[in-house]
Amino acid sequence: MNNNTGAILVLSGPSGAGKSSLLNEIINDIGECYFSISTTTRQIRDGEENGVHYYFVSEEEFKKDIEEDNFLEYAFVHGNYYGTSLKPVKKSLNEGKLVLFDIDVQGNTLVNNRLGDITTSVFISPPTLSELKKRLQDRSTDAQDVVERRLEMAKKEIQRISEYDYLVINDNLKEAADVLRTIAKASRLKVPDNEINEFVQKWEDIDL
Ligand code: 5GP
C-alpha cells in the first residue's frame, strides 16, 4: 500500500539525552521531513535563535494561542509552557512528509490521542542518571538549580517509557543513530486507519 499521507515521529527524552545530535546524524537519510518548531515561554539560551530552535513568546501570547485553539498539543514543562502549532504540521502531513517532534511525555500522550494511527514514538535515554548529570553539567548552559530540576524531571519521565513504541539508549552515538534511522524509516510505513478501511472495503466489494 502506498502511503502518501505523511507520518509523525515523536522523540522524547530528558534534555541532555542527545536528541539533537542523533537527529543531525540521521536527518539526511530519512527522506522528506519537517522538524516541528515548538513555541515556548522559556528564556532563550546562549546559541539559540528565535524561529530556529523555538518561537520564543511571552506567556500572554502563548495563552492567546491556547484560546484560539492553535496548538496540536501543549504542556507545562520545567515551569514553562511549550506547544506544537497545528498549522505547519497539517501542511507537512498533507505534503506526505515525516513530521518530527521533540516533545515531552505529556505531549506524546496528547499527540497519540489525536493522531495515534500515524504516530510512532521513541524515548531517547542516556545510559544512566549519573551520565545525564555529567552531560548537563558539562553543557553548562543551565544554572545548578535548573540542572537539579531537569534531573528530577528525567527520573519522572523515565517511569513512563512503557508508553513509547521504542526505547533508544544513547550510549554510543553512531549505534544509537543506526537504530533511530531504522525506526524513522519504518515510521513512514505506518498505514493510517482510513487507508486500512479503504483496503478492507475493496476486499468486501469483490464478489467471488
Ligand atoms: P528544553 O527547554 O530543554 O528545550 O526542553 C524541555 C522539554 O520540553 C523537553 O523535554 C522537550 O522535549 C519538551 N518540549 C519542547 N517542545 C515541546 C512542545 O512543543 N510540546 C511539549 N509537550 N513538550 C515540548
Q: Please give the grid coordinates belonging to residue 142.
A: 543551565
Nearest CA to 102 out of 174, 159, 27 is that of 27
Strand order across the 71-77 sheet:
55-56, 39-40, 80-85, 71-77
38 compared with 16, residue with greater pLDDT: 38
Model confidence band, residue 208 (pLDDT cutoffs 50, 70, 90): confident
Q: What is the Cα–Cα distance from 163 to 199, expressed in whole angstroms?
A: 29
pLDDT of residue 16: 86
Q: What is the Cα–Cα distance from 161 to 140, expressed in whole angstroms?
A: 27
Where does CATH 3.40.50.300 sit in the chain?
1-32+96-196
Examine the pLDDT at 1 and tell me if it is beyond 60: no
pLDDT of residue 150: 86
- For domain 1-32+96-196, say whether CATH 3.40.710.10 is its number: no
Examine the pLDDT at 4 and tell me if it is beyond 80: no
pLDDT of residue 46: 86
Q: How does DSSP classify residue 97?
A: P
pLDDT tens column, 114-146: 999 999 999 999 999 999 999 888 876 778 888
Fold topology of 37-95: Guanylate Kinase phosphate binding domain (3.30.63)
Where does CATH 3.30.63.10 sit in the chain?
37-95
H-type helices in 7-116, by residue range?
19-26, 59-67, 86-94, 105-115
pLDDT of residue 179: 98
pLDDT tens column, 11-37: 999 988 999 999 999 999 999 999 999
Ligand 1 pocket, Cβ-based, cut-off 6 angstroms: 12, 15, 38, 42, 73, 75, 77-78, 82-84, 102-104, 106-107
Strand residues in 54-203 grouped as ranges (E): 55-56, 71-77, 80-85, 98-102, 119-125, 166-169
Give the residue whose CA is nearest to atom 22 of ligand 1: 107
Tell me whether residue 20 is annotated as binding.
yes
pLDDT of residue 156: 93
Query: Which of 83-92, 184-193, 196-205 is predicted least confidently?
Result: 196-205
Tell me whether residue 14 is annotated as binding.
yes
User: How large is the average pLDDT for residues 168-188?
Assistant: 97
pLDDT tens column, 39-89: 999 999 889 999 999 999 999 999 999 999 999 999 998 889 999 999 999
